Amino acid sequence: MYVCLCNAISDKTVREVVRRYQPKSIQQLRHLVPVGKQCGKCIRAVREIMDEELKNPPMYKEIA
């Protein structure tokens, strides 16, 4: 499902970025994925996805 229609960013993309880079804020996430830079309607959904993913840290850490 698309969460950011302006930039065609899906919830899957947001989840993958959060899992991989573990951003601590929306500002850090915005450096990785262009969400909330146009109309801003996606920020609430992105924040919910980010909070959900950060509650469940990955079982392993990527090396390299």
The count of other CB atoms within 10 Å of the CB of residue 25 is 10
Task: Tell me whether residue 8 is in a domain.
Answer: yes
Of 2 and 59, the structure prediction assigns the larger pLDDT to 2
Structural domain that includes position 32: 2-55
Q: In angstroms, rounded to a whole number, what is the distance separating the alpha carbons of residues 45 and 11?
A: 9
pLDDT, position 59: 67
Report the run of H or E that residue 31 belongs to, with start and end: helix 26-32
pTM: 0.83
Percentage of residues in the chain having pLDDT higher than 70: 88
Residue 62 has pLDDT above 80, yes or no: no
Total number of domains constituting the chain: 1
Task: Tell me whether residue 63 is in a domain.
Answer: no
- For residue 20, give both structure tokens: 């991989």
